[in-house]
Structure 1
Amino acid sequence: MRSGRILYGGLAIASLAMLLFVAGFFCFRLGLALLAGLFYAVAGKFLLLAFFGLGLLGLFALAKALYRQLCGYFRRDATELRCWFALRNQVRDAGLRAAAEARQSRYRMQLQRGRLAAANHRKHLRQLRQAIDGELAAVRNRLPAATYKSLRKSLRRHYKQADAAAMLALRNQLPCL
């Protein structure tokens, strides 16, 4: 309530200063330069006083609002509420982090399984090629040279393409021992 009175007082002083400026202007128009100078000087000081008072009122209102906000911020219930929200956020973040780590772990395991499966597949293909190559070497004497070379070439091509079914089909083309 007191700040309202100060505000109205400051506005009244500013209004008085404006009236003095207007009075000084009319005195100047009427040729009363000495009186106009006096009105202008007093009006300037009143206006300065009004602005200073309003500025102090603004600073006081700012300090008061800041004090209220700080008191509200450091109140026990507000502090406990912020603490509760922080804990809730930490729990949520921990859950999200655990889920992300689980996804990443599953991805790594799947990648590792894929690598192991690929290595196992290559190993079995190599063993199959060696077995077929051994069988092909065993029947080399019974095959014409061109057929032997084409079978070896086909075996090499199927091995490079990692085509186990084609390698087995090639094996079935070999004559029995």
Structure 2
Amino acid sequence: MTASRTPTGPAAAVRALALAVCLAVTALATGCRDDTAPAWDHPRLAATLNALSTALAQGCATPDPAHCADRLDRLDTLARRAFTEVLDHRLLDQACLDAESDVRRARTLRLAATTTARSPAPDRSPDRSPDRSPQDPRRLALARAVAAEQAAYRRLLAALEKVRTTPPPGAATGPA
């Protein structure tokens, strides 16, 4: 007689049970889902927020706060576009308004710090270049203002992303 290639007995039963459990867990974890984005996901707003996030991450590749300040000026256009899209979709909530106010305040402070940092020191004559030392108090104030504006943009981005991904009341959010 030849030996059978299919295992029998308790070992085969345990393997079959383990495979069945793995398949059941996988099916429950993934669900029967539709891979298309829901109608309330706002893909155009998602693209704008992605661009804003990328620009914010790449904005300060160098430690120079003046360079970062110039890059933050470019973020304002993307932030305004995202905020306008949120208004268009009527997604606005108090967290978005607070984050937008924080960005405006931080921007105003950063613009003032930028002007101060670029002006000559009071004890220097106007024909001499301003102090470019990293320990210059005006540059430190600019660095703090830039960091505060970046943090405000991150809070705005998080608030906008939250309202974008929150389903409207009564929307079907479970797997199909």
> What TM-score results when the alignment is normalised by the length of structure 2?
0.31
**Structure-1-length-normalised TM-score:** 0.31
Larger radius of gyration: 1
Higher helix share: 1
The structure showing larger relative contact order (alpha-carbon pairs under 8 Å, at least 6 residues apart) is 2
